Amino acid sequence: MARTALKLGPRTFGPDELVIMAIVNRTPDSFFDQGATFADEPAFAAADRAVAEGAAILDIGGVKAGPGEEVTVEEELRRTVPFVAALRERHPDVVLSVDTWRHEVGEAVCAVGADLLNDAWGGVDPELAEVAAKFKVGLVCTHAGGAEPRTRPHRVEYPDVMADILERTVHGEAERALALGVPRESIIIDPGHDFGKNTRHSLEATRRLPEMTETGWPVLVSLSNKDFVGETLDKPVGERLLGTLATTAVSAWLGARIYRVHQVAETRQVLDMVASIRGTRPPAVARRGLA
């Protein structure tokens, strides 16, 4: 199926455009930054810096993905809603995404200007897609293999991991979202690296990304500093950037379009280089051999 434009809030992205989604965690216990953007001032600074470095989407998360202290709906609302409202005024031309699986949070953030709901837990709350349809905002449909939110995989098995990804994200969540009224051009699918998967599953999902891109739905990959990178290279969280960027380059070559990342500037360079090799972006300058 031919790739089409992606429309999210104030932005329309062309079929060949490689888009960065910058992570801004409003949590005190993030696995990567350990709460560096939990307070408002550093969070706004991080958002401003991400936009300046080339992020077109800001993804706001109020709950750590992994196990940890319980975060109630009320606390998640407190962490995200005022921040999203303030960002809407601060960055009117940037796409605002919220990483949540709860429809109550989705409803509240859409009411103050969110453009995209990033459901990282595979539709565990079916009402979240209904919220996206109600507000006509975008929806990320992620494969989590049926895992419960904030759980780690344990001896999970798939007869064919990509077949399961396609069945759940495309024939399950994406087609359901479309039927509910979420705009076709605003639905995204995500293989869900690490979510409900071991390292070998995530590596296989990466090399088989063309099977996702061939469906015509825009593909998002969330690779940044994840455990599958760390285990593959035997590196701790703080030493996974090179592995992340290598995986980013491969994913871009294989057709993924949106990249959820911590390190924007480095990712932007990788994506621009891949696009130029592919022939969809001219070099920034071209002097060699011309003088």
Q: In angstroms, rounded to a whole number, what is the distance separating the alpha carbons of residues 240 and 229?
A: 7
For strands 11-13 and 6-8, give the pairing: antiparallel
Q: Give the sign of the dihedral formed by CA 135, CA 138, CA 143, CA 148.
A: negative
Beta bridge partners of 96: 58
- CB–CB of 172/119 below 8 Å? no
Cα of 45 vs its chain's centroid, Å: 20
The whole-angstrom separation of Cα 187 and Cα 185 is: 6
Query: Which residue in the list 26, 102, 168, 226 is annotated as catalytic?
Result: 226
Distance, CA of 289 to CA of 272 (rounded, Å):
22
Residue that is written with structure tokens 């001896």 in the block: 155
Buried b (16+ CB within 10 A) or exposed e, 139-157: bbbbbbbebebeeebeeee
Cα distance between residue 192 and residue 178, in whole Å: 20
Whether 226 sits among the annotated catalytic residues: the reply is yes
**7 in active site:** no
Exactly one of 79, 176, 197, 260 is catalytic; name it. Answer: 260
Annotated catalytic sites, by residue?
A: 226, 260
